[in-house]
Copies of this chain bind each other. A is one copy, B any other.
Amino acid sequence: MPGITDPKINDYLMKLSLEDDPLVLEMERLARENDFPIVDRLVGRLLYLLTKLKAPRLVVELGSGYGYSAYWFAKAIGTGKVILTDNEEDNIAYAETIFGKAGLSEKASFHAGDAVGIASGYRDIDLLFIDIDKHQYPGAIKSLLPNLAENALVIADNTLWYGRVTGKNRDRDTLGIKKFNKFMFGNADFFSTLLPLRDGVLIAYKIR
Chain A interface residue count, CB cutoff 8 Å, equals 42
Q: Is A45 an interface residue (CB 8 A)?
A: yes
Q: Is A205 an interface residue (CB 8 A)?
A: yes
Whether A185 pairs with B8 at a CB distance below 8 angstroms is no
Q: Is A181 an interface residue (CB 8 A)?
A: yes
Whether A2 pairs with B8 at a CB distance below 8 angstroms is yes
Contacts of A30 in B (CB 8 A): none
Report Cα–Cα, A203/B195, bound state, in Å. Answer: 13
Whether B197 pairs with A18 at a CB distance below 8 angstroms is no
Whether A49 pairs with B203 at a CB distance below 8 angstroms is yes
Instruction: Choose among B12, B153, B165 the residue that contacts A12 (Cβ–Cβ < 8 A).
Output: B165
Report Cα–Cα, A203/B203, bound state, in Å. Answer: 15
Pick the interface stretch among A32-40, A50-58, A81-89, A135-143: A50-58
Q: Is A6 an interface residue (CB 8 A)?
A: yes
Contacts of A165 in B (CB 8 A): 12
Q: Is A175 an interface residue (CB 8 A)?
A: no
Instruction: Choose among B6, B7, B48, B185 the residue that contacts A17 (Cβ–Cβ < 8 A).
Output: B185
State the A residues within 8 Å of B (CB): 2-13, 16-18, 42, 45-46, 48-50, 52-54, 151, 153, 160, 163, 165-166, 181-182, 185, 191-197, 203, 205
Cβ contacts A to B, 7 pairs, < 8 Å: A2-B8, A5-B5, A8-B163, A9-B163, A12-B165, A16-B181, A16-B185
